């Protein structure tokens, strides 16, 4: 693992910029990764034009799950719903900047899975939401 990127993950885990709750919000979803015990809830507020105005996450879990949520939310500010729907797991891997094994990948992709399930208005989150492309 590259030391530079590992620092970013630890920094965002300790001092997240987007941790919190938005009440009220336009999009809310939560799910967990039972393999690791990660739990993430994402709240999103949209502006009049349907772009992300504010986003926040809450929950608990390992450093990768929490840091990836923080970095993901930072990356979607100002984005449209359509742009969020087109995000792929490669985008999250790029944000983290490290190679991840299959177990850690589940941690890293939980936030994208939660975000996409919320954006699509689904009652449940499917792995296919982040495995595609
Ligand atoms: Zn985890």
Contact 111, 128 (CB under 8 A): no
Distance from Cα 48 to the centre of ligand 1, integer Å: 35
Residue 40 is assigned to a structural domain of this protein: yes
pLDDT at 7: 87
What CATH number should be reported for the domain holding residue 85? Answer: 3.90.1010.10
Omega cis (within 30) before 92: no
Task: Specify which residues 94 forms β-bridges with.
Answer: none
CB 62 within 8 A of CB 111: no
Predicted local confidence at residue 5, as pLDDT? 56
Q: Is 49 inside a domain boundary?
A: yes
CA of 50 to the centre of ligand 1 (A): 31
From first to last of its 133 residues, the chain has per-residue pLDDT tens of: 455 558 889 999 999 999 999 999 999 999 999 999 999 999 999 999 999 999 999 999 999 999 999 999 999 999 999 999 999 999 999 999 888 888 899 999 999 999 999 999 877 778 888 875 4
CA–centroid distance, 33 to ligand 1, in Å, is 7
pLDDT at 129: 84
Separation CA 84–CA 52 (nearest Å)? 9
CB 95, CB 72: distance < 8 Å: yes
Phi-psi region of 37 (alpha: psi -120 to 50; beta: other; left: phi over 0): left
- The CA 10 to ligand 1 mean position distance, Å, reads 13
114 occurs within a structural domain = yes
CA of 12 to the centre of ligand 1 (A): 15
What domain range includes position 19? 2-120
121-128: long-range pairs with CB below 8 Å, 24+: 122/29, 125/29, 125/31
Cα(27) to ligand 1 centroid in Å equals 23
pLDDT score of 133? 47
Q: Count of domains in the chain?
A: 1
How remote is the CA of residue 38 from the centroid of ligand 1, in Å? 5
How far, CA to CA in Å, does 57 sit from each of 2, 4, 100?
A: 26, 24, 22
């Amino acid at each position: 693992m590259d030391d530079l990127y590992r620092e970013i993950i630890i920094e965002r885990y300790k001092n997240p910029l987007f941790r919190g709750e938005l009440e009220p919000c336009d999009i809310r979803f939560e799910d967990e990764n039972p393999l690791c015990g990660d739990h993430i809830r994402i709240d999103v507020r949209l502006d009049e034009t349907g772009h992300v105005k504010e986003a926040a996450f809450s929950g608990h879990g390992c450093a990768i799950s929490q840091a990836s949520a923080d970095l993901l939310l930072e990356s979607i500010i100002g984005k449209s719903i359509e742009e969020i729907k087109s995000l792929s797991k490669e985008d999250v891997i790029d944000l983290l900047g490290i190679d991840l094994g299959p177990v850690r990948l589940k941690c890293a992709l939980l936030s994208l899975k939660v975000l996409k399930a919320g954006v699509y208005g689904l009652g449940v989150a499917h792995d296919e939401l982040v495995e595609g492309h």
